[in-house]
Amino acid sequence: MVLRLKEQNHSSASSAPVIDTPSIVRCVIDDIRANGDAAVRAYSEKFDKWSPASFKLSQKQIDDIISTVPQQVLDDIKQVQENVRTFALAQKASIKEFEMEIRPGVYLGQKNIPINSVGAYIPGGRYPLLASSHMTILTAKCAGVPHVTACTPPIAGKIPANTVAAMHYAGADDIYILGGVQAVAAMAIGTETMKKVNFIAGPGNSFVAEAKRQLFGEEIGIDLPAGPTEVLIVADQHADPFTVATDLLSQAEHGYDTPAVLITTCKTQGEKTLAEVKRLLEILPTADVAGVSWEKLGEVIVVENLDEAYRLADEYASEHVQILTQEPREALAKMSNYGALFLGEKTCVSYGDKCIGTNHVLPTRGAARYTGGLWVGKFLKTVTYQEVTSSQESGELGRLCGRAARAENFEGHARSGDVRAHQYLSDKFEWM
């Protein structure tokens, strides 16, 4: 049995004007491809009212900006970055390079090579997202990426000083005050003043996400598909409705299109949570945003038992899944589709977003069914190599290659194997 105490309301969404985001993004990208810096400047002026002499900050500008940031903020940035660094380096240590001899004189190996250059997009807009600096720039540096170009937009025509500090301490090699599609396209294509990168990471609005999608493959690699933030909470009858409601709204404040879902085994729990959400929205400073998301996309679902709750949660494949039950670690065994799990009432999604050390760039819109989130391994190319030093084994492989290739009608491949079989085992072939 599934009982929905609150249905999603899409009426306001359906009445909104339709914006052809792909076409807009395509036009911007094509213009920047053709006109470089001039187009970048034109779009920055148009969208952000921002046109400095140089979008790139000099070291003196960075130092001056950081000098305006309160010491407590700087100390907190460094503490959070140490958490992120510790976890990212542990992840890197778990990815092993190896070499093995599968037969006498036949060696196969694996190496992990950092991407040469990475672009990090740090969103701004409504909120200065310092934490995205830690998650993208710092994680890339932990992977060993030699050069990271970082872009963040101005906020209301001003440089976001706290974000610049976070970008600098994370290890950005170049910092640009530049946002939107123009930033992503400039990094991906390269301009007269910005070097082309090989890979772009970081969240952003629908236009940024579409730019990454369009540029993926031909120009750059990207971290993962990204969309609006999502939160799903699985709660039993023992969870505190006040905590549940607070944690739902903590994510709903991200934007006007954030799904916030509660799946519970207790109808009373669901009803009390709904009442708490209503009360909290009356006092939450960001209720003008969170309330819209809750009204449009909030859900409270009652199921018969926790097994059903975990099964339904897997169907949602949410970005953030919070487990507020008496035995939260059950979810590790019973769930498989999520961006990140947050286990127990002492843990909240906001810890992952801001400070605990795991990465907050996570799959949305069901992408958790096939990928995890951003991690140090995304900035590494795992490559293989092979070497045959035994004449006998090279000849035997040549024979095997010849038979395997001819079974697929690849005569050229077969002859490459034939050459080794001839050289090292004296085999004769009519084509020679």
Alpha helices in 238-305 (DSSP H): 241-252, 267-281, 287-297
The model's confidence at residue 369, banded by pLDDT at 50, 70 and 90, is very high
> What pLDDT, in 10s, does the model give residues 199-229?
999 998 889 999 999 999 978 999 987 788 9
Side chain identity at residue 142, one-letter code: C
Confidence (pLDDT) at 206: 87
Question: Is a pLDDT exceeding 50 seen at residue 104?
Answer: yes
> What pLDDT, in 10s, does the model give residues 58-100?
999 999 999 999 999 999 999 999 999 999 999 999 999 999 9
Topology, domain 21-64+113-223: Rossmann fold (3.40.50)
The structure tokens listed for 7 are 């249905």
Confidence (pLDDT) at 268: 97
Q: What is the mean pLDDT of residues 271-275?
A: 97
> What pLDDT, in 10s, does the model give residues 391-414?
999 999 999 999 999 999 999 999
Question: Is a pLDDT exceeding 70 seen at residue 388?
Answer: yes
CA distances, 187 to each of 27, 111, 138, 195 (Å): 16, 27, 18, 7
Angle between helical axes of 267-281 and 287-297 (0-180°, round to 10): 150
Which residues touch 37 (CB under 8 Å, ≥6 apart)? 191, 192, 193, 194
> How much of the chain exceeds pLDDT 70, in percent?
97
Looking up tokens 């907190």 gives 76
Q: What is the mean pLDDT of residues 264-282?
A: 97
Sheet of strand 106-114, all strands in order from the earlier edge strand to the far edge = 98-103, 106-114, 380-388
Looking up tokens 């992408």 gives 367
292 neighbors 263 (Cβ within 8 angstroms): no
C-alpha of 381 from chain center: 17
CA distance 203 to 212: 10
Active site residues: 319-320
Please tell me the least confidently modeled range out of 106-110, 253-257, 298-302, 351-355.
253-257
C-alpha of 423 from chain center: 50
Alpha helices in 171-205 (DSSP H): 180-189
Range(s) within the chain of domains with CATH label 3.40.50.1980: 21-64+113-223, 228-373
CA distance 108 to 103: 10
Question: Is a pLDDT exceeding 70 seen at residue 10?
Answer: no
pTM of the entire predicted model: 0.92
What top-level class would CATH report for the domain 228-373?
A: alpha beta
The model's confidence at residue 129, banded by pLDDT at 50, 70 and 90, is confident
Beta-strand pair 2-6/298-303:
antiparallel
